[in-house]
């Protein structure tokens, strides 16, 4: 493949100005991406091409690209090339007492989706038991759901429910697209969010694969506790959101 871009002479990098070559190259590429010289989804020149064009070693090129990759600005496909990431139209996701994923996304005029990856009953781990106000080891229903917006992975959620409140939950989940529709129709439960804790974490290997991001891209994690009108805890969940796709908004009304 030929290099289409004009201006790929060799004048560009300056060995004397004190800034490392790879930083200079990263800056050039960052600017070209920002300016749309290489548009989202398009392939960057290969490492060999950049190496030749800027007259630096291929490893120096790799170092430059790795900077951009660690910021999520580009992504690499083995054997295929390095591509400019989609600008990740940001989703303004509301977190409040009553908001639920499906309605939240529909209100934004986008298509919500979900895939149940795991559904089992298990003894409550200590941490989960504490949040649910039950004895450690008591049975809980565990759900792991990967959620999509416009068919793109958006967040991976692990939820725990006391089996006492939601008997048979793991069996019924496949028949619904919305978790909260299920809770209301099958059990007459209307959980209310009572606490959310926001933090930045790096995904597990499995989580990264599910969300379609590299392990070195951080996720926005939200631990939430849901209760009934009586105050009894009904759900403890850990949601891991793709940090490049959303901001989480809380309104203190």
Residue 55 or 190 with smaller CB distance to DNA: 55
Q: Is residue 47 a contact residue for DNA (CB under 7 A)? A: yes
Are 132 and 195 a contacting pair, CB within 8 Å? no
Q: Which residue has the tokens 């990740």?
A: 88
Q: Is residue 178 a contact residue for a copy of itself (CB under 8 A)? A: no
Three-state secondary structure call for residue 121? strand
Q: Is residue 58 a contact residue for a copy of itself (CB under 8 A)? A: no
Rounded distance between C-alpha atoms, residue 253 and residue 242, angstroms: 26
Minimal CA–CA distance to 156: which of 224, 207, 112? 207
Q: Is residue 91 a contact residue for a copy of itself (CB under 8 A)? A: no
Rounded distance between C-alpha atoms, residue 196 and residue 222, angstroms: 6
Rounded distance between C-alpha atoms, residue 57 and residue 116, angstroms: 46
**Which two tokens mark 131?**
């949040």
Q: Is residue 204 a contact residue for a copy of itself (CB under 8 A)? A: no
Q: Which does 195 bind (CB under 5 to 8 A by kind): a copy of itself, DNA, none?
A: a copy of itself
Are 66 and 30 a contacting pair, CB within 8 Å? no
- Judged by CB under 8 A, which stretch of 95-103, 120-128, 155-163, 183-191 contacts a copy of itself? 95-103
Q: Which does 79 bind (CB under 5 to 8 A by kind): DNA, a copy of itself, none?
A: DNA
Q: Is residue 200 a contact residue for a copy of itself (CB under 8 A)? A: yes
Binding site for a copy of itself (CB under 8 A): 67, 70-71, 92, 95-97, 192-200, 202, 216, 218-220, 243, 246-253
Residues near DNA (CB under 7 A) are: 1, 20-23, 44, 46-49, 55-60, 62-63, 76-82
């Amino acid at each position: 493949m030929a290099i289409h871009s004009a201006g790929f002479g060799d004048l560009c990098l300056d060995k004397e100005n004190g800034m490392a070559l790879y930083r200079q190259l990263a800056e050039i590429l960052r600017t070209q991406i920002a300016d749309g010289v290489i548009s989202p989804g398009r392939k960057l020149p290969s490492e060999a091409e950049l190496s030749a064009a800027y007259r630096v070693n291929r490893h120096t090129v790799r170092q430059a690209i790795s900077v951009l990759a660690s910021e999520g600005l580009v992504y690499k496909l083995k054997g295929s090339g390095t591509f400019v990431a989609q600008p990740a139209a940001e989703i303004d996701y509301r977190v409040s007492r009553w908001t639920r994923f499906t309605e939240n996304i529909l209100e934004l005029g986008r298509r919500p989706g979900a895939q149940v990856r795991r559904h089992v009953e298990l003894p409550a781990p200590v941490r989960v038991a504490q949040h649910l106000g039950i004895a450690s080891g008591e049975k809980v229903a565990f759900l792991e759901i990967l959620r999509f917006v416009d068919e793109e992975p958006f967040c991976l959620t692990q939820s725990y429910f006391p089996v006492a409140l939601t008997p048979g939950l793991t069996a019924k989940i496949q028949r619904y697209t919305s978790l909260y529709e299920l809770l209301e129709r099958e059990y007459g439960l209307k959980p209310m969010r009572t606490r959310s804790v926001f933090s930045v974490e790096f995904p597990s290997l499995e989580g990264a694969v599910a969300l379609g991001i590299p392990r070195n891209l951080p996720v926005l994690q939200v631990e939430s506790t849901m209760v009934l009108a009586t105050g009894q805890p009904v759900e403890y969940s850990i949601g891991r959101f793709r940090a490049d796709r959303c901001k989480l908004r809380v309104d203190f009304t």
